[in-house]
Structure 1
Amino acid sequence: MEKQTLPNSTLILIFGILSILTCCCYGILGLLFGVIALILAGKAKRTYLADPELYDGYGNVKTGRILAIIGVILSAIFLIMVIIAVSIHGVEGLLEISEEMRREYEN
């Protein structure tokens, strides 16, 4: 009997990678991709452990899960930093700081 590819194994890996790549997008996109990858990885792990002889591609699930955990942690840290910066400086203050940095870069 030929082994089937574990459902969503490639998608879990892609979402794990995207969670790391998008962690600096105010933390929201990274959290979204990471949480979805973790949910899908949990389902895939339960499916695989029910009958491991039937499925192939569990390595993608494990790798995607690890990447998703890293992405969620980085996104959470970045989101907390954004919340702290906005609470200290306010949105207008952050816009002024970025404008000053832009002027210094041009000179």
Structure 2
Amino acid sequence: MEKQKLPNETLILILGIASIVTCCCWGIGLILGIITLVLAKKDSKIFYENPDLYYGLNNLKTGKTLAIIGIILSLLYIIFAVYANVVYGEEEIRRMMEEWTQQMQNQ
């Protein structure tokens, strides 16, 4: 019998990458990372029940690793954003962003 590709192998890899790319989008990377880990757990269970029937464990592990990195980066961004908002306040952050924008435009 030929080996089959794991059902969500490609999706797990894509979502793992997307969780890193969207880590600064107010929780989207966190959500994608969690979804990726859930799918990876299901596919791991399928693979380890019948390892002779499936292939693609490397992509599964890579996607899972990327999802963990994406979750960590998302959490760090959320913590930083909340901290900055508490310490500086919304108006001060806007003022600083406007200054940075003007400086970038003047260069």
- TM-score bracket, normalised by the shorter chain, equals over 0.9
Identify the residue that residue 54 of structure 2 maps to in structure 1.
55
Residue deviations 1:12-67 (CA, integer Å, cap 9, x gap): 000001111111223x1110111110110011101111111111111111110011
CA distance, structure 2, for counterparts of residue 71 and residue 24 of structure 1: 10
User: What is the RMSD of the two structures over their aligned residues, measured on CA atoms?
Assistant: 1.1
Q: Structure 1 residue 105: deviation in Å? A: 2.2
Unmatched tracts of structure 2, length 5 or more? none
Identify the residue that residue 9 of structure 1 maps to in structure 2.
9
Identify the residue that residue 87 of structure 1 maps to in structure 2.
86
Identity %: 48
* Aligned length in residues: 106
CA distance, structure 2, for counterparts of residue 21 and residue 51 of structure 1: 33
CA distance, structure 2, for counterparts of residue 11 and residue 33 of structure 1: 11
Identify the residue that residue 77 of structure 1 maps to in structure 2.
76
Identify the residue that residue 101 of structure 1 maps to in structure 2.
100
> What secondary structure, in the 3-state scheme, does the structure 1 residue paired with 2:89 have?
helix
Q: Structure 1 residue 80: deviation in Å? A: 0.5
